[in-house]
Amino acid sequence: MTSTSPNSQFDEFSSEFEDIELDADLIQGFDDADRDGDQLDLADRHALRRVQGLSTELADVTEVEYRQLRLERVVLIGVWTDGTSEEADNSLLELQRLAETAGALVLDGFTQRRDRPDPATYVGSGKAKELRDVIVAEGADTLICDGELTPSQLSKLEEVVKVKVIDRTALILDIFAQHAKSREGKAQVELAQMSYMLPRLRGWGQSMSRQAGGRAGAGGVGIGGRGPGETKIETDRRRIRAKMAKLRREIAAMGTARTTQRNERRRNAVASVAIVGYTNAGKSSLLNRLTGAGVLVENALFATLDPTVRRAATPDGRDFTLTDTVGFVRHLPHQLVEAFRSTLEEISDADLILHVVDGSDAEPEAQLVAVRTVLGEIGARNIPEIVVVNKADAADPYVLERLVRREPTAVVVSARTGRGIDGLLAAISADLPRPDVEVEVLLPYDRGGLVSRVHQHGDVLAEEHTETGTRLRARVGEALAAELAPFAAAG
């Protein structure tokens, strides 16, 4: 038997330790090189992810199994069930843009033609094994699926490919978590993440199925191996539900101020216009062009999450508010629609919708369908709509002509160059609701504020300055008509 000196053992250990440190340095360098500098301020997002280790004894419910998405080197897979091959390719290209927005390096992408996704592994066992070979060859650490996977599909696919599997919904939730800045936006994203995470909560090993409580024997297990009480996974789920209930209360409270502002605008008969559209269609650029709002404009998906309200005026001097809202996308996760419902009320309460579509996109008609689907979910489908075909400076003229023929309310603009903005303002002026209560009043000269409000919020039909005051005949809203009633002029 050969003896080993303490010094040689120490040398061996030191060599292994150096190797470990080298690997850590390489990993750190990879993280720093591949992360977008604009996305490093994510301390709040990190709090929503699972901490290191396998313990399920939670100090904070947000540590549970919503795994930290360090999407570094990814492979994409989509199941093509209907439509054309071009549509399937475009969907995967959009998934690529989503992955890159989240900070990923996309190595490869595939689509598979099936009648329906495989109920076990989403792509089928044979395709899953092929994907495993590609992942090994490319050195990928994540597989992203272009669809929402069930908990069992997620688990079984991971068993085959041996790397982390993320579906489209988790990817979009992660992007929202990166971009949320306001307190309300962060709470809404956290609620959506927990709603997604709850049915997918998984544990590690036998510990998650053990029950606590009762008489504990050796090893902390009751008589017969299990005692009465909750399992650890049940405890975690209960804590998540409690946290979700708390978040809903907080979001409702934070929405009160916006409701008050909407009611005040309604009382003053200020018309409301909501800007909606596909993500990165140019909504914030259009808001800036119409109002000079100075809102952040970024060539990225979901750059805007928090609604921005600004005042504007029609060419004939009528005031209205413009609200920039969160962008939509194909198959927008229903968890997000539900969580952002209080924010989306800005759309459902609007008098007019400006539906912005990217005229330079490969499938602008698909954008229109995706956005209108979400509008239907929030009860805003019947609000008058102007289709604003944006990015005319970069679009194919034949595509613009096709969209104008298809959409009778379409207005072609370029928010970047200003082309078509005057025509858009004229269309807004024509489509905004007109005051419908006709009044004839004699306002004393010391009530100049009321005269100004009639000009600002109503349609003045006739005006005359007399010895005792200003005589007006105008159409105004009901609230303003009630304030003017004491000054009704005699016939």
Per-residue buried b or exposed e for 261-293, using 16+ beta carbons within 10 Å of the residue's own CB = ebeebeeebbbbbbbbbbbbbbbbbbbbbbbeb
Parallel/antiparallel/unpaired status of strands 385-390 and 411-412: parallel
Q: Distance between CA 346 and CA 183 in Å, rounded?
A: 18
- Each residue's pLDDT, cut to its tens digit, for the chain (491 residues) gives 444 444 544 454 444 444 444 444 433 444 444 444 444 343 433 333 333 333 334 444 444 444 444 447 899 998 888 878 888 888 888 888 888 888 888 888 888 888 889 999 999 888 899 999 999 998 898 999 998 898 889 989 999 999 989 999 888 888 888 877 778 888 888 888 888 888 887 644 344 444 444 444 444 444 444 445 556 777 888 888 999 999 999 888 877 776 776 666 666 567 889 999 888 888 888 888 888 755 545 555 555 556 677 888 888 777 888 888 878 888 777 777 877 776 677 788 888 999 999 999 888 998 999 899 888 888 888 899 999 999 999 899 999 999 999 999 999 999 888 899 999 999 998 898 877 788 888 888 888 888 888 887 777 888 888 888 889 888 887 777 888 888 887 65
Place of tokens 């002026």: 429
The separation between CA 398 and the C-alpha centre of its own chain, rounded to angstroms, equals 31
Structure tokens at 372: 């209108």
Length of the chain: 491
The separation between CA 79 and the C-alpha centre of its own chain, rounded to angstroms, equals 23
Per-residue confidence (pLDDT) for residue 261, from 0 to 100: 67
Q: Rounded to 5 degrees, what angle do the CA atoms 342, 391, 307 make?
A: 15
Sign of the CA dihedral running 355, 360, 361, 366: positive
Sign of the CA dihedral running 215, 221, 226, 228: positive
In 115-203 the beta strands, taken as DSSP E runs, fall at 142-145, 164-167
Within 10 angstroms of residue 36's Cβ, the number of other Cβ atoms is 12
User: Does pTM top 0.75 for this prediction?
Assistant: no
Per-residue confidence (pLDDT) for residue 358, from 0 to 100: 92
Of the CA atoms within 13 Å of residue 343, those in its CB half-sphere come to 27
Parallel/antiparallel/unpaired status of strands 105-113 and 73-80: parallel
Per-residue confidence (pLDDT) for residue 298, from 0 to 100: 52
Element spanning 442, H or E: strand 437-443
